[in-house]
Chain A
Amino acid sequence: MKRLFSMISVLLILSVTIAFAGGGKQSGQAASGDTSKQVTVDWYWVENLEEADNDLVSSEISKLTQPKINTKVQMHVFDWGSYTTKIDLMLASGEKIDLVSTTGLPFHQMVAKDYFLPLDELYANYGKEMAQYMIDYNLEGCRVNGKLYAIPTPKEAGGCYGYVIRKDYVDATGVDLSKVKTMEDMTAIWAKFKAYDPNFSIYNNASAYIDLMGFQVLGDGPGRIYKNEKAEIVNEYDHPAFQAIAKLWHEWYVAGYINKETSTPDFAHTAALRDNKIQAIGGQCKNGIEAEVSSGIGGKYEFTKVIIQPPIALTFTGYECAFAIPRTSPNPERAMMFLNLLMSNPEIHNLANFGIEGRNYITLPDGRIDFPKGVDAANLTYIPNAVWENGNAFISKWWNTYPVDHVARLRAYNATVQPSVALGFSFDADPVKAEIGACANVTNEFKQAILSGAQPLENYLSRMQQQYKAAGIDRVIAEKQKQLRAWLAAKK
């Protein structure tokens, strides 16, 4: 038996050694800027389908980056389902990743695990060209304890919520959307639309209903800030605003403004919009959403929007679409140089985002782009449609579903964005993970009833609140409040 144990322990020691040998490689951090040696930048990002032309586009990008920074580029694309698992495992085991999109990754956890390099110095040295497009709010969101751990992609600075509405309804009834300030103001507008077309109905997007009510997300789980006035966590399900709007939505439902079919889970709003079953959706209203919705249904109808919750820059807005350079990168300088090119050189940018001109897209006389002859979204060999993840919206080309002056509108939009009172704060959900999961189950049960307004609030309010209490909502909120207070105190 003794021998057996010694054998086992030898095996254990061996495997531990291997693990360390694999993961322990430290990369040279001295910023030398020496480009005499050719290297390959392995660039990882997430998309739901792998494009057929990924390798071809990688080699085309390499042709451009080689003369500039003596670097080849290889893109690796994982799907949404495996991205987090794969990247986490690769970083834990010390595999080479030079550049990784933080979209969908547990960013703060990974920073805490020391997976990413602090980028302040690299960014200052090699990010000069892209720095002019950077949005300060988003950069702020990528900082952890004062250090920069990711470079956000330049785009809209924050999200806002409201309704995306069919343009023909607005034109035909002549309503003035600019006067809308609150959710209550919409009632009169829906009434006019209903009078114009008895079939008129809307849908409140399930993933955003709480934001639509005016509560801003603050990390995982319940506990939010209301209206961005003061950095105080409220229980959104106990808040008077929640109850008022839930009541209003039920009134809308009874009046037929909210589509009755939307109370079923998995309601496919894209198809419903296309088939003229609904004519407006409530949810995210960022710049260009009208074009995105329109192109999502094949350009069948035109849309306009009305913003009810004005845009706010959250911590999350910063790192949701950003790039980090992992510690496993042997050439962090080159990774930053390439990122700089990707975000500032239109040729490389458009190649990475839209593929090869003539093969994957054609440019129209007004500068926008369209599908090449004979192909569409279904059979194009390169259409990641991910400028938000990989691109710089200010130098990007845009599909012809976007307005010609899209970039100018984006700048105007960004000027209206306010920073969140908790910008820079990130919630560490680990201490209350179980409670957050339990609360999510309660939310799933009631979400549909609330956002579709199918039931009067009184029918389920007390039951819902009891279930949240049982799920531990108070502990989540107390923990969030504690962390936010500590963060505010440290900031002063």
Chain B
Amino acid sequence: MKKKYSAALDRSPPWARRVTHVLFAFVCVACLFPILLVFAISISDEATIAQHGYEIIPRMLSSRSYEYVLSDFQQIMRGYMVSITITVIGTVLGTLITAMIAYPLSRTDFPFRRHFTFFVAFTMLFNGGLVPWYLVYVKMLGAKNTIIPLIMPLLINGFNVIILRTFISANIHPAIIESAIIDGAGELQIFFKMVLPLSVTGLAAVALLVSLNYWNDWYNALLFIDTKKLFPLQFLMYRVNISIQVLNTSSFIPDAAANARTRLPNETARMAMSILGIGPIVLAYPFLQKYFVRGLTLGSVKG
């Protein structure tokens, strides 16, 4: 039986606990501050920003940036749809495939186990390089301007496989699997009916990592997507920011193009987009967080 943690069992002196609390309060503020600042800027008036710089308490409120961002409502909504679609599909598929690799690797009776583990670890250190990788998707799969290159490249991450493998071998005793075999279960049955339900915590941790990867990805869209209707939300944001940066910093942009800047959103609108971009993924956190913590601390506590 595992003992639940409670304050009564904590035998550290009260001052130590207080110090810890204060410390963590500081960390919390440090984490929240940037988000609050971005939010404050997004609701500030552009002119006061230009005059006084960024301020945590807006001098003058304005909803203009949100009006601007939402004026292209359709595009934003489409971006949301694409992001949500790839996150949901990618997370489900990615987690499943990760588990399907991790589980066999955790079985000591799996032949060539070390070699396959090496293959997984190898991808964490080396990759094929940008151009061949691009060629595989564009030339071999013909997947440019489809949803495939938004999902496929992020499906498996060697690191997640290793996490999950360690989790399974630490939490599922070989005797459990042996007993299932004795009861006449096939490999697929064992995997879906025993292993997956028993490793929910580990799966949830991996799922959170994978979903964050999908939600935050803009790079695949940059490489593979030319049509507006498949732009994920993060790429819309990236595009605006990087375009402003290019136009502002390059000395080699014709002045006529620099004038085009007048049609790009201003500082506050960019911040408003960031706030919208945080969106639903923030809601996923509280639900998955308890699993997340348990999943990642696996192996550190002997139970």
Residues in A lying within 8 Å of B, measured CB to CB: 4, 15-16, 18-19, 21-23, 47-50, 76, 78-82, 85-86, 89, 92-95, 103-104, 159, 207, 217, 220, 261, 264, 266-268, 270-271, 283-284, 286, 289, 292, 296, 316, 320-321, 377-378, 385-389
Contacts and interface: CB of A to CB of B under 8 A. Distances in A.
A275 to B, nearest CB: 8
Nearest to B51: A261
Interface stretch (B162-170, B181-189, B206-214, B251-259): B251-259
A81 B255 contact: no
A48 B264 contact: yes
Given A18-B135, A81-B242, A82-B239, A47 B260 contact: yes
Interface in B5-32: none
Interface in B245-267: 245-248, 250-264, 266-267
Contacts of B247: 48, 80
Interface string B206-230: 0000000000000000110010100
Contacts of B276: none
Given A86-B223, A386-B257, 4 more contacts: A15-B136, A19-B135, A79-B239, A267-B50
12 contacts: A48-B264, A81-B241, A81-B243, A93-B139, A94-B139, A103-B257, A217-B251, A284-B255, A316-B252, A320-B252, A385-B259, A387-B256
Contacts of A80: 242-243, 246-247, 253, 257
Nearest to B219: A85
Output the residue of B46, B243, B257, B267 with the most chain A CB within 10 A: B257
Nearest to A221: B251
Contacts of A207: 248, 251, 258
B71 to A, nearest CB: 8
Contact of A4 (B115, B135, B226): B115
B256 A89 contact: no
A488 to B, nearest CB: 23
Given A81-B239, A81-B246, A320-B254, A50 B228 contact: yes
Q: Is the interface of B mostly helix, strand, loop or mixed?
A: helix
Interface string B27-46: 00000000000000000001
Given A48-B243, A79-B243, A93-B139, A270 B258 contact: no
Contacts of A94: 139
Interface of B: 46-47, 50-51, 53, 115, 118, 128, 130-132, 134-136, 138-140, 222-223, 226, 228, 238-239, 241-243, 245-248, 250-264, 266-267
A226 to B, nearest CB: 17
A296 B259 CA distance: 7
Contacts, number: 126
B105 to A, nearest CB: 16
A49 B222 contact: no
Contact of A15 (B50, B51, B132): B132
Contact of A82 (B135, B242, B266): B242
Contacts of A264: 50-51, 53
A89 B254 contact: no
Given A4-B118, A85-B222, A264-B50, A93 B131 contact: yes
A15 B128 contact: yes
B134 A48 contact: no
A49 B248 CA distance: 16
B139 A104 contact: no
A103 B132 CA distance: 26
Contacts of B251: 207, 217
Contact of A388 (B130, B134, B256, B267): B256
Contacts of A78: 226
B257 A389 contact: yes
Nearest to B247: A80
B222 A296 contact: no
Nearest to A289: B255
A267 B50 CA distance: 7
A93 B138 CA distance: 9
B251 to A, nearest CB: 6
Contacts of B51: 261, 264
Contacts of A296: 259, 262
Contacts of A159: 255
